Every structure is written in C-alpha cells, then in structure tokens.
Amino acid sequence: MTQKELQHLYWRAGFGWHPKMGSLFSKERKKVVTALFKDSQSITPIQLDFSYLQGVNPIDIKKFPSLAKEIQEKNQKKILELNYAWVKRLIHPKELLRERMTLFWANRFVCGDRHPMHIQRYNNTLRQYALGDFRKFVKAISKEAAMLKYLNGKQNRKHKPNENFARELMELFTLGEGHYTESDIKESARAFTGYNHNFRGEFVFRKFQHDYGFKTFFGKTARFDGDDIIDEILSNKQCARFICDKVYRYFVNPIPNNAHIEAMTNVFFKDYNIEHLMHFMFMADWFYAEENIGSKIKSPIEFLVGIANTVPVSFESERDLLVIQKLLGQMLLHPPNVAGWKGDKAWIDANTIMVRLKLPSVLLNNAMISLKEYGDFNDKFRKEYFKRSKGKLPFKTLPDWGAFSKDFKAIETVDLSDIIIQGTINNGTAAYLKTLSKASKRDYCVQLMSLPEYQMS
C-alpha cells in the first residue's frame, strides 16, 4: 500500500495515521486490512465503579427523597465520567477498528439515558456487536434498558401498545422511510409488548404484559414476538441496503455511489456479518479512489481525537473535554434526538469553524482565542460560555511534544503536510505553506492543524 492509501485507511478505520505504523508501508493491502480486524477481535468493555449502587433498593429511592437526591447527583457525575472514559478510549484504543465502529453505531442506534449503569451497558453492547452479527445486534439493542426507556418500550403493553420503538426501528434503524406502512408499525409494536428491565438494566420479559395474539406484518400473519419482527425486517434486502448506505456515507464519502453501495449490499445481505462487509469495503479499489480521500468533514470527536493522536495531550481539568464537545456540537452520550447528529456539512457553521481553526493552538500552544468579533453564537451554551469567559477559551493542557518529536523524528518538517493533511491542498493554501518557517516541526504541526484542509479526512 502507498503512504497515501495507508493514511486514508487509518483515518476511516481509526483516527489518523501515525509514524509508529510505518512498518505497514509497502505491505500488501490484504495483510494490512486483515491485521486491522485481527487487532480488534477482542472486546474491552468500559467498566466504571458503581459500588455506590450496591445494596440500593429502588423502593427506598422512591420512599426517601434525600437518598434519591444523593443517587441522582452521583449518577450525574458518573455520566460525565463515562464521557471522559469513552473519549480517552478513542484516543488510546486497545482495539482500534472496534472502537471506531462503536462510535459509528452510536449514531445509528441512537440512545440517551440519565442512568450511568444503563448507558454504560448500552455503550458496551455497541462495542460487543460492532463487528459481529447484525441480526443479533438489533435484537440485543431492542432489549437494552436505555433503549427501552428512550423509546418508551417500558410503556408498551398488551391492550395499550406504544409505537415509538417499532416506528424508529424501521424508519431510522433498519429500513428508512417509505418501506413500511402504518399498519406494519401498529402490528409490530404489539410484538414488542412486555419488554422491561430490572434495576441493574438487565432485560426482563413481562409475559403477562405481552400480546400473544396474531399480528399481520409485511403481509404475513403469525404470533410474532419482537425477535420474529426483526427477522422479518432483515429478510427484506432493503435493510441491508439501508445499512450499507449509512456505512458508505460514513466511511467512504458523504456523496453516495449507488453501484458501490449495491455491491456492499450483496455482500451484507448474505449473512449480515458486519466484519465481512467492512473487510469487503476496505479491500475495494474504489475505497482508495482519489475522490474519496479527504472527502469527509471530521466530526468534532474525530477532530479532537485526531489532534491528540498526533500530539499526546492531557487536560488539567477533565471538564474541559466536555466543554470542547459542547462548543464543537457533539457531546458523546447526549445525542440531539433519536435521529442522531446529521454529520457532514452540519458540523460546520460560522461559529464552530472559528473554534476548530483555533483549537489546535489552544490545546498545543496554550493560546487564547478571542471570538468577540464573530458575533453572537446561536447555541445558548456557546453564547453563555463565551460571555462568562470574556470571549476566550482558557483550557489548561499539557501537550507531550517530547513524544511527538520522538514519533515524528524520521519525518522531515517539509513533508509533515503530507502526513497531517488528507486530500488535495488548494493553491492558496499551498502558496501560504511555502511562506511558513520550517525551522520548528512543532510550530509547523500546529499551523497545519489550523488550516481549513485539516477539517477534512
């Protein structure tokens, strides 16, 4: 593989190429891609300490307001801790591709919850099935406590079905609009009745709340349960096509290529094996086509993790990680709605672009950003934050430039742009780069990350 192909692969399958991966240079594509999957065979769940919930009875929480308040406060702190743990996991992944896929699925099977134990279970379920059997994946998601709460599955009972999950299962998770009827939604909702969970978030089936009657779904009549409905959905090739479209737009190019998506669909529909699908895509010649390199706008998390992947950086206050996510418009574990983040061009507006262009200097050079001249921020949080902070971003960080110098020692300063920037550099930027001093590799690195082209991967 060429250097350019390697960088493209590792920006899509991970969060950037690094000189430590240099041993991969000139190796056959099959060997490099196979190694990616081999390194992600194991599963390392995120495990926080929930000892404060041991011995806690949900009945006592309802009876004693002081206990309820104490638990609520601790839960809120744990959700922040889970956010930090996830970001750090992305920066230092044990299984690179699995973590990248976990991030992808989090914006496909969108879910939010205020119970840290339940949202951690959900997050680890994404991680467990990220490269596995999609059929088992969907069934597992349908039984997650966080999802049952998020889409009112607990309120879905015999004689009084709630259609929220059934609707989103088809519209957003598996088929897309126009591939089912209102009757299909109503009938399938009956099949998911009786789904519940216990205090720890483990699935519980309430058989007396389940509708065991006949349901007519996609023209078939049977005593369908929830798993049966999912099987029927996956028997429709549109499900495979819908998922492949999402995978293509995320990993290849936001502008779909129907021929390539159909080729992916034919592979995925055979067995719904996610690993087989991803392996096919990473091996395809068209994946490495010029029009796909540097074609995607980095999400805020990709942008932040990509910087830290090049120059290791630690935060004096972990809360700054949260602030950055909010300012850039993507806070992990807090999706905007069940449809998730729109992505692509929606990541960039007049406000976020200024934060993005200045953030490398803030994180790596202890710079301060003044944004007063750019007008009001539409987002309430951003507006209030800059009002309190007098229009600046005072993050206290400790960048490890020693590690950077060691890792990039073999890379000439003048060649750094080929490593840092993906895709084509426009003529104006190319001319600007020629004027920059190359005396300091460190300074040049920050300058490259501050370019508009660095927003692309």
Cα–Cα distance for residue pair 272/256, rounded to 1 Å: 21
Q: Would residue 209 count as lying in a domain?
A: no
Q: Is 231 left (phi over 0), alpha (psi -120 to 50) or beta?
A: alpha
Q: Is residue 145 part of a domain?
A: no
C-alpha to C-alpha distances, 285 to 247, 263, 288, nearest whole angstrom: 16, 13, 6
pLDDT at 80: 97
Q: What is the mean pLDDT of residues 66-74?
A: 96
Picking from 132, 150, 181, the residue at the C-terminal end of a domain is 132
Alpha-carbon dihedral sign for residues 154, 205, 127, 363: positive
The predicted-structure confidence for 268-310, as pLDDT tens digits, reads as follows: 999 999 999 999 999 999 999 999 999 999 999 999 999 999 9
Cα angle 285, 291, 295; round to 5: 115
The distance in angstroms from the start CA to the end CA of the chain is 18
Mean pLDDT of 386-407: 79
Residue 388 has pLDDT above 70, yes or no: no
Give residue 192's pLDDT. Answer: 98
Q: Does one domain contain both 401 and 428?
A: yes
Contact 131/100 with Cβ under 8 angstroms?
A: no
Average pLDDT in the chain: 93
Segment 332-360 shows an average pLDDT of: 95
Query: Taking a C-beta distance cutoff of 8 angstroms, is the pair 294, 422 a contact?
Result: yes
> What is the rounded radius of gyration, in angstroms, for the C-alpha atoms of the chain?
24
Q: Is residue 175 included in any domain, yes or no? A: no
Name the more confident of 390 and 261: 261
148 domain residue, yes or no: no
Same domain, 63 and 97: yes
pLDDT-above-70 percentage for the chain: 93
Residue 195 has pLDDT above 50, yes or no: yes
Residue 380 pLDDT > 80 = no
Domain match, 31 and 43 both: no
Task: Examine the pLDDT at 384 and tell me if it is beyond 70.
Answer: no
Asked if the model's pLDDT at residue 389 lies above 70, the reply is: no
Q: Is 408 in contact with 416 (CB distance < 8 Å)?
A: yes
- 374 and 451 assigned to the same domain: yes
Whether residue 117 sits in one domain with residue 241: no
In a domain, 187, yes or no: no
pLDDT at 371 over 50: no
Q: Is residue 283 domain-shared with residue 390, that is, in the same domain?
A: no
Mean pLDDT of 122-134: 98
pLDDT (mean) for 177-183: 98
In this structure, are residues 14 and 32 in contact, taking their beta carbons and an 8 Å threshold? Answer: no
Please check whether residues 314 and 431 belong to one and the same domain. yes
Quick check: is 201 in a domain? no
Interval 148-172 mean pLDDT: 98
Domain boundary among 271, 292, 313: 292
What local confidence, expressed as pLDDT, does residue 351 receive? Answer: 86
pLDDT: is 392 or 268 the higher one? 268
Whether 99 is in a domain gets the answer: yes
**CA distance to 158, 165, 192, 431, 439, per residue, from 213 (Å):** 10, 19, 12, 71, 76
**Rounded Cα distance, 293 and 287, in Å:** 9
Which domain range does residue 253 map to? 3-38+236-292
Mean of pLDDT values over 324-350? 96
**Average pLDDT, integer, range 139-145:** 98
> What pLDDT band is residue 253 in, cutting at 50, 70 and 90?
very high
Q: Quick one: average pLDDT of 402-413?
A: 94
Q: Which two tokens stand for residue 392?
A: 């600046």
pLDDT at 370: 43
**Domain identity same for 307 and 423:** yes
Residue 375 has pLDDT above 70, yes or no: no
Q: What is the pLDDT of residues 79-114, one digit of tens each?
A: 999 999 999 999 999 999 999 999 999 999 999 999
Is 80 exceeded by the pLDDT of residue 179? Answer: yes
The whole-number pLDDT of residue 379 equals 58
Same domain, 268 and 309: no
**308 and 250 in a common domain:** no
pLDDT for the residue 372: 41
pLDDT > 90: what percent of the chain?
Answer: 88
What pLDDT is recorded for position 373?
A: 38
Q: Worst-scoring range by mean pLDDT, 127-131, 207-211, 281-285, 415-419?
A: 415-419
Q: Is residue 331 in a domain?
A: yes
Quote the pTM value. Answer: 0.94
The domain total for the chain is 3
CA 129 and chain centroid, separation: 14
pLDDT at 27: 85
Q: Return the pLDDT at 366.
A: 74
Which residue among 89, 114, 132 closes a domain?
132
34 lies in the same domain as 47: no
Note whether 270 and 388 are same-domain residues. Answer: no
pLDDT at residue 390, rounded to an integer: 54
Give the per-residue pLDDT at 302.
98
pLDDT at residue 345, as a whole number: 95
Compute the average pLDDT of residues 177-205. 98
